[in-house]
Every structure is written in structure tokens, then in C-alpha cells.
A and B are shown apart, each in its own frame.
Chain A
């Protein structure tokens, strides 16, 4: 039955599907590497690298949200920082002025993200292609400028003094000030978001999005509402971005309007393209790679932007499907070979 659905909506480019396909193996590999890294960093007492990695995972969430739109639905958003920054500001205000509660802060950020995503989605989805990119860019600029000039939100100085909090998970509790436990927590959260989104993209909802990407005009003939699906995925992406944004002030203790600027949106798009469009795990890996690279190269030369720019160009020219996109065919061939081998050796 599953096979039948897949062939019915047969699509141009999409990694192989199945209960545990190559992309999911990559995700498990990533998780394993992350855990080894955490163990090494913890035993050597390296709080800085744990916190840097936590930041990379937070921006990985933003990149996944861009990938949902760009990779799965074919919509280029140049303003995803709007929802990331919104989540960060809402979380910061709740933590500082409301209660220092993780669940309250993320809940409020998610609600704000969904609401703003609904409004932004209705506006942006009126147009397609390059106009969609421009509208998302414009929306984010408008909100960024408004925040930049609002004294109650700290204007250009941003908001500092956001307390470090305890996150309660049933019987467990952890401190955001402790680099290791907060890293593990954000890692768990990121992988959970990844798993949820990957499942959803394999479900009929994701197939419909892929159909929209392939040919939007034909989707209504198959009995699906293209506009409704586009709005839904836009709101979903806004929620993912807002959730990641909500974690930022917990890690860094401040928010500033720069989080809403094009710089942040643009970086997320670069991350998705370097990591691998339409893979979800690619943006995560890309975020970790680029964050590490910026930190190392930045200490080494002030011309780090040139280095990162050249790497971006090289990856666009030589790894057109990104890092993960280049790895996948190889992994899939190996898996297929193993499967054939297994069948032959079976009695």
C-alpha cells in the first residue's frame, strides 16, 4: 500500500524513502558524533565548545525551517529570521518579566510564531517565485526596523539581563547555565524536531508539498488544496524558527535586533545550501560545520568572510546538492548492495 502511494505521486528528485533510509542513518550518525563530542568536551572541561555547539544547534533549527520551505515546497524565504527573532524576543520577555519557566517561554514563543506565521503566510503566499522571496525579505525588514526603533524592546541595544533558568522535565531538572546538560537538552530537542519533521515529510502532507514543488498547477487536479498546504507549511516553518529562537536567550542571556536582520536569514539559507537542500539533516550538519568554521577562521584572520564565501561558492559549484546530497547516493548504493547481498545469501 505504501509502495502504491509512492509510485502514484512519483516525484523527480527525492532521496529514497523507507522506514529507515539513508538520510535517517546520517541523522543517527550525527547524533552519535554529537554524543562523542559531548563526552570529550565534558571530560576535558571545555564549556566554551559545548556552548558553541549548542548555538550551532539552535541555528540548525532555523536552517531546518528554511529547508522545509525551500527544500520540500520550493519556496525561498529570505526572512525566516523574523520568526526566529520573534521567538527570541518573546522568550526573553517572558523569562525576564514573567516567570523563569522554560515551558511558559517556549509555549509563548510557539504561539507567537504560529500567529505571526499565519499573518505572514497569508501575505506572502499571495505571490510566487522571486516575489515570494522579496515579500518575506520585506516583512522581516519591516519588523526588524520596528524593533530597532522601539524603546520598550531595548531599541538598538537589545535586551540584557535574561536569567539562566532551570528546565524541569518531569522528575528531571537541568540548568541552562550548565554547558553539558543544556547541550544535551538542545541536542535532544533538535533531534526530536528533526524526527517529527522527517516523519511529516514522509507522510501524505510532505508528498503533497513535494508535488507543489514539482508542479503547483497540477496539484488541485489531484484533489489537493495547494494554497492551504503552502500556508500550513509556512506556519509550521515559522513555529520551528520561533522554537529555535526561544532557546537563544536561554543560552546567551540577551537578545538584540541583529537576530532579526537579513544577516541571520541569509546565513540560514547559506547553511541549507551548503548542508544539502531538502534533507533536513543537511541543514543541521551545515550549521555545525559553518559555526565551527566561522569560529576557527574568525580567530585566525579578519578576512573570514572571504573564506566562508569561497567555501560557499565551491560547494555550490562542486557539491550541488550540498554535503549531505553528495554523501547520500554513495550511502544508498552501499545500502542497496548490502540488500542485494543479503538476499542472495539468504536461504
Chain B
């Protein structure tokens, strides 16, 4: 009895929702993002980016004449909280679409929940390759660049700027650190770089000088590192004190040198190169307009999270207008292969794995600022489609 009634009522409710959606009824988008805790600064950028885009979309008449509404929930960067909040948005608030998850575990768990609720989600932040490769889901889209694109962009730049370079790798000794190094190593070797050795230091190492002997003996021209936060501060300042930064190009993951730790690293950060999907310095009219509007609204510069979240609403708008509906199956079809405008220029959603294709940039730290030193076209950085599920 129970089992027969519940799906029936659910179906009726869905029908009612689809049928009753009048022109004035708002389109609701749920945003499950960390608003408290360690990841709150990322959640803040996500929120700013989305709210700025919301203002502009609604001022221009909404999506298909319907105003857009954002409903925020704090996921505390914890998948167990994120699924609970996402379920509330899906079932109680009846959102049409969901976004905002930051850590990859949350994106994967919420993606599975979206499948079970027959809704679509998109992440604007999560890097983990798994989301659009071996753990891909027909209900999950990623509008930002994944880790593989970042390392591919950096490897492309390296091959062009320092062909056949001898590279040494120094990573933090935990799963993410090791997999980041492995991914870049594979990409760099494919473009002709020679690996001269690798070493993994424990997280929160106080003293990196014990690795400097090995590093010097390998005589590399390039050092790749995937440390983050204060580890980078110690690594780079100690290398600078030992005079190791002369004649050595330091490259790294996009989280290695950030706005948070660049001040503490100081001059030792100069010359550091990384691959990213966005920089506020991008010299295009779209980006200049976006940065100006962002600064005016929040008195802060956007970072890649803010920019990609801002671009998400354009993606959703373009998809809904192409599909002519917010219905899941039709919307998914519309999103596949879709092109949409973002501050980084036109992005394309690859149909095979739901990963956005976009131009990537190599940026170098020069006197405390990130300047763009190379652009890698989207097709060169995207890599093969490894999603087998659809």
C-alpha cells in the first residue's frame, strides 16, 4: 500500500509542479556551499559570484520571463551535511537546479542524491578528476576546470617555455598531494620533460632543508610542488635562504601559492608559475566588465571560484532557453554540447563527460601579482573523455 501510494503522490506532485509553473513563478536554484568553517572564504566567493549574476539576470527579465531565486544552505564542507541540506532543497523547497558544493566528496555525494531525485546539479569549484571521469554521473555537470586541465595547461606552457626540461617533484605526503604530483608528472613526461626524481615531505613540515641535498644532486631546471598554505611559505622561504631559487623555475598546483599565503612568502614567491582556469588580470572586455562590477558590489577582487560561479547562471540560462523547459531530461540534453559566455570567454560543455572545455592560463607571480604568461587553448588542455557511464 505504502509503496504504491508514495511514488504515485510523488508523480502527482511533479506533474502539478510542471503543469502549474506559470510565467510568473520563479525558477529556484539551490546553493549548498560552505558558509562557515575553513572553506567559508570559498563559499563567500561562490555566493558573491552567483548573487552578482542573479542581479544581472533578473534585471534583464529573468530566464524565459521567470525571475530567478537563489536558496542558500551551509554545507560546512562536510558531505554528510551537504546531502542532508541538498535533500531539503530538492524535496521541501522544490528547487529546479542545485550548485555550490565545494569539496569533491560533497559534489559526488550530492550528485548521487540528484540522480535519486531526478534533478541536475553543477559544481563551480570541485577539482577532483573523478567527478567527470570514473565517478561521472548523468546528473552532474562541471563548469570549472578540473585538476587534469590545470596540470595539462602547466605542462603545455613548460614544454613551450622550457622544452625537455629536467623536472624534480616535491609533494606533501598525503593522498591528494601524491595524486597531484602523479598527474602532473604524467602530463609533463608526455610533453617531453624528463623526471629526475621525487620526494614527499610530511604535511606541516617545519624544515625542508633535509630534502635540499637530494634536490641539488638531481640538478633540475624546474621544481614542481603541490604543497599548500603555510607549507609553501616554509618551503619557498627556506629554498630562498639556501640560494636554491637561482637558476630554478618553481612551478606548482593552483592551490600552492594563493592570495592567502602570497604575502607571507614575500619575494620568494616571485617567478612561481601555475596553471589556472581564471585570473582577474585577464585582458578581455567581458572580464574587465565582470571585475569592475564585482569590485563595485563587494569591494573585493573575484577569484576563480567567484568567476566560475558567476558564469554558472549564464550556463543555466542558456540551457533552459535552449530546452524551453526546466524539465530534467530535456535540460540535460540541452546542456550537452552547450556553449555559453563567461568572464573567461566562451566555454563548451563536453557531452561525453559533462566537463566544461575552456582556455587555460599559465600565470606567473611577479612582485606579488599573478600575471598571465601563456594561454593554452581549451582543446589542448581538456584531455580524453574517460567517462564510461553515459
Co-assembled chains A and B:
yes
Residue of B10, B80, B85 near A256 (CB, 8 A) is B80
Residue of A51, A175, A258, A298 near B87 (CB, 8 A) is A51
A329 at the interface (CB under 8 A from B): no
A124 at the interface (CB under 8 A from B): no
Residues 1-44 of B at the A interface (beta carbon under 8 Å): 2-3, 6, 9-10, 13, 35-36
B84 at the interface (CB under 8 A from A): yes
A258 touches B80 (CB 8 A): yes
A252 touches B176 (CB 8 A): no
B375 at the interface (CB under 8 A from A): no
A156 touches B175 (CB 8 A): yes
Give chain B nearest CB distance to A330 CB in angstroms: 34
B109 touches A256 (CB 8 A): yes
A161 at the interface (CB under 8 A from B): yes
Cβ contacts under 8 Å, B314 to chain A: none
A47 at the interface (CB under 8 A from B): yes
**Closest Cβ neighbor of B43 among chain A residues:** A302
**How long is the Cα–Cα vector from A156 to B78 in the complex, in angstroms?**
11
Interface string of A79-95 (1 = CB under 8 A from B): 00000000000000000
Which of B100-108, B253-261, B343-351 contacts the other chain? B100-108
Give chain B nearest CB distance to A95 CB in angstroms: 14
Cβ contacts under 8 Å, B78 to chain A: 256, 258, 263
Cβ contacts under 8 Å, A302 to chain B: 35-36, 72, 74
B216 at the interface (CB under 8 A from A): no
B92 at the interface (CB under 8 A from A): yes
A155 touches B79 (CB 8 A): no
A253 touches B113 (CB 8 A): yes
**Closest Cβ neighbor of B103 among chain A residues:** A156
Known contacts: A45-B10, A156-B175, A157-B108. The answer to whether A259 contacts B2 by CB under 8 A is: no
A295 touches B88 (CB 8 A): yes
A102 at the interface (CB under 8 A from B): no
**How long is the Cα–Cα vector from A157 to B108 in the complex, in angstroms?**
8
A157 touches B10 (CB 8 A): no
Cβ contacts under 8 Å, B2 to chain A: 42, 178, 180-181
**How long is the Cα–Cα vector from A191 to B113 in the complex, in angstroms?**
28
Residues 65-80 of B at the A interface (beta carbon under 8 Å): 72-74, 78-80
Give chain A nearest CB distance to B203 CB in angstroms: 10
Residue of B84, B92, B179 near A55 (CB, 8 A) is B84
B85 touches A252 (CB 8 A): no
B91 at the interface (CB under 8 A from A): yes
Known contacts: A150-B175, A160-B135. The answer to whether A45 contacts B9 by CB under 8 A is: yes
A256 touches B88 (CB 8 A): no
Q: When A and B form their complex, what is the total count of cross-chain residue pairs whose Cβ atoms lie within 8 Å?
A: 102
A48 touches B91 (CB 8 A): yes
B83 at the interface (CB under 8 A from A): yes
B296 at the interface (CB under 8 A from A): no
Give chain A nearest CB distance to B110 CB in angstroms: 9
Instruction: Give the number of chain A interface residues (Cβ < 8 Å).
Output: 40
A262 at the interface (CB under 8 A from B): no
A180 touches B6 (CB 8 A): yes
B175 touches A175 (CB 8 A): no
A7 at the interface (CB under 8 A from B): no
Give chain A nearest CB distance to B28 CB in angstroms: 14
**Interface SS of B by simple majority:** helix
B108 touches A160 (CB 8 A): yes
B130 at the interface (CB under 8 A from A): yes
A107 at the interface (CB under 8 A from B): no
B212 at the interface (CB under 8 A from A): no
A345 at the interface (CB under 8 A from B): no
Cβ contacts under 8 Å, B3 to chain A: 175, 178, 181
Cβ contacts under 8 Å, A148 to chain B: 174-175
**How long is the Cα–Cα vector from A52 to B128 in the complex, in angstroms?**
29
Give chain A nearest CB distance to B377 CB in angstroms: 29
**How long is the Cα–Cα vector from A333 to B184 in the complex, in angstroms?**
71
Interface string of A138-175 (1 = CB under 8 A from B): 00000000001111000111101100100000000001
B246 at the interface (CB under 8 A from A): no
**How long is the Cα–Cα vector from A164 to B135 in the complex, in angstroms?**
18
Known contacts: A48-B91, A302-B36, A304-B74. The answer to whether A158 contacts B84 by CB under 8 A is: no
**How long is the Cα–Cα vector from A258 to B106 in the complex, in angstroms?**
10
Cβ contacts under 8 Å, B135 to chain A: 157, 160-161
A312 at the interface (CB under 8 A from B): no
Cβ contacts under 8 Å, A253 to chain B: 109, 112-113, 116
B176 touches A156 (CB 8 A): yes
Residue of A156, A179, A180, A252 near B83 (CB, 8 A) is A252
Given contacts A160-B112, A302-B72, 14 further A-B contacts (CB under 8 A): A47-B6, A148-B174, A151-B175, A155-B175, A156-B175, A157-B108, A157-B135, A161-B112, A177-B116, A253-B109, A254-B109, A295-B88, A302-B74, A304-B74
CB-defined A-B contacts under 8 Å, sample of 11: A51-B87, A55-B84, A150-B175, A178-B3, A253-B113, A254-B108, A258-B80, A259-B80, A263-B78, A303-B36, A305-B36
